[in-house]
Structure 1
Amino acid sequence: MAFIMITVLIDMVSIGLIIPVLPLVVGTFTSSPTEQAWWYGVVTITFGIANFFASPVLGALSDAHGRRPVLLLGFSGLALSFIVTGLATALWMLIAVRVFSGAMQANAAVASAYVADISAPEERARRFGMLGAMFGIGFILGPATGGLLGAIDVHLPFFVAGALAVLNWLYGWFVLPESLPPEKRQPFAWKRVHPFAALSGLSRLEGVGPLLWVVALASLAQFTLHTSWVLYTHFKFNWGPAEVGWSLFTVGAISAVVQGWLLKHMLARFSSRTLATVGLTASALTYLGFGLATEGWMMYAVIVVGGILGGGAQAAIQGLISNAAKAHEQGATAGSVASLNSLMAVLAPMVATPLLGLVSHLKATDVLMGLPFFFCAALQAVGASVAYRFFRRRAAHEAAPSA
């Protein structure tokens, strides 16, 4: 577990470095806030489309050949994409390299499969929480550093991120052990890795079908937030790379504390189903709080309260889905979930970009400025409702035999 946690930490630091500056790099090729928002949406969509088609392929390859070689492939692809992005001199170059980066980046899905390989079913929710804590720490170190570096030069974080990806490749090559023994591997088959076929297989996992709607809605809300955050806070609070970096630092710090320490205590006291339902409801209120905030400090208050109350939902749902999959299907299952998330990453900019365009000309005091986050709150509220009804039906079904 320690090996994969270090791998994910380095990976997330490198990815987090570019978050505060990517929209600003897009802005260097555009002439207005509306045009910047539109082209940033295009860059995000192309990344998501590539990731949607590639994730189930890479997940299935990890089932066939092991997790380690696929992780190494992802690290090398990330390193190349970061460096080329930093060198981009035209918008088409930026779009092309994001397509390549999206196709290569299945590291999170393969890391989840790695954790499933080495964990008993009853340990998976807690260990997915530990993995989430590494994501959180990566978001402590990455965006804050990226914001500070971006204040010097908006291209500098990309070169630092590329160097970290190379470091991760070296760590993976010399240190990271393989988690999937040969006897548990499954031959690669193209018919199983078509993204829509992969999603269909995911829907047939016993007892978790409706949770896919919950994952999709929560993911669409989260990616809409990701797409909107940098430009929204710039439009409303006039934040630059440094301010965005510190806000994401706070997100990462709360995530690390909740998933790395608090989650294990919550799982000892409450069921995964309860944590998922409460967490989804709290997340809906968090998005509403972001949209209603009138001062920059309020965003930090919402991050802290919302992160504590809603931080356990993702790990709980991920554990339930993983436990429904067989041992030799963990890579494909994780890849399919990643593909579902990538599909939402494609849809999110199609929603977020028009919403940002609608509010970009409004006064900062106009309540309609929060429109992107009000949309996220509605999505998360529907997801919480679906989860609550699903868990209630499951509890009634499980109680019926004993009755």
Structure 2
Amino acid sequence: MLLKAFSLLLLCSVALAADSYDGYKIYDIIASNAFEKQILLRLSNNMDYDFFDMPRAFDAASRVMVQPKDQAEFELLLQKFNLEYAVINDNLGDSLRQEQLENQSQRLLSQRSASRSISFTAFHRHAEINAYLDELAKAYPSRVTVTTPGQSYENRDLKLITITNGDGKTGKKVIFLDAGIHAREWIAPAEALYVIYQLVENFAANSALLKDYDWVILPVVNPDGYEYTHTSTRMWRKTRKPVSSSCYGTDANRNFDYHWGEVGASSYSCADTFKGETAFSEPETQLVRDLLLGYKGRGKFYLTLHSYGNYLLYPYGWTSALPTTWRDIDAVAQAGADAIKSGTGTKYTVGSSTNVLYAAAGGSDDYAFAVAEFPISITMELPAGGTGFDPTTAQILPYVSETWLGIKAMAQKVIEEF
């Protein structure tokens, strides 16, 4: 009977994936000079091509997903301009179905065997994440507080966990961490959960991080989009509030009101980088705004988790100019990069968003730094898995444990300096 129920669960989960991605190809393209880089930039403006990344370095491949109807034309364009490319996945749909089956299997196993509702062998649904936070609040009432400061557009609870050392002191400095602004970046909420696990359930080893600081963590900023990637469209990026009769969602990381819409964001509502009809048009970004402003003066370190690309990025995203205090932020980011390289050999690129990746105004990191006055504000782009945004379940624990090395080192640096 259990086997039958398990099989039914798997079949239902596959049936829910309305966008199958059958025949979609993933390409890696090398631009060997500035002209070829400009060709790629022009191609990335075509909404028919989903560019996963666009590295500045000439030796780093740009990755793009192309649907079947556009592949012949796309390959002809690459050949016309003598761009070197390789097909790294010739049927994304097959890969995603296999990954989904494995994830459902691991979720079921963790629910049967784990003492808590969360494991690091599966990507968990939003309700499971919220349940884990509630379990921690019940199990560790002196050190954990869980609140619901608001709901998403589709009325999902955005739960916030505040972690202390239980000494009862109020008004401590704050490290604020969030994840899941972009729906398809599943490894980011997984990392937020791992940070929570380390601070709460592995408290003895990490108590120094909580002596003078409280940690405030919002593990899924965009739960509507996150759930949509589990049930319908795996590569969905935006929120889910309707914008027009045919287009849904806003890029929440282009929706913050600091140089909003000036560069690196689209005014076209169907685009993945749509900036929103107005700044803070989304209830999810309004909630993050209000939380950040509420910690003004106490907030010392804002860290937002994304994927992918092995980057530690800091302001500004709207200009190549640097803040006057950029060296302070750089030192913290470098501490994280050094800790990860020393621990696992993985290399991270450190620098301002515009200078080492691309210009994109309206991001949460710029807002946290310039408006909410967090002196250290960093975006952490975790490594690629699978074809980029789809790490396997086997990659979760290695990735989150590695990333924790960097987060812990950055927090220690902030605690020492601020």
TM-score normalised per structure 1 = 0.25
Higher strand share: 2
- Larger RCO: 1 or 2 (CA < 8 Å, sep 6+): 1
TM-score normalised per structure 2 = 0.25
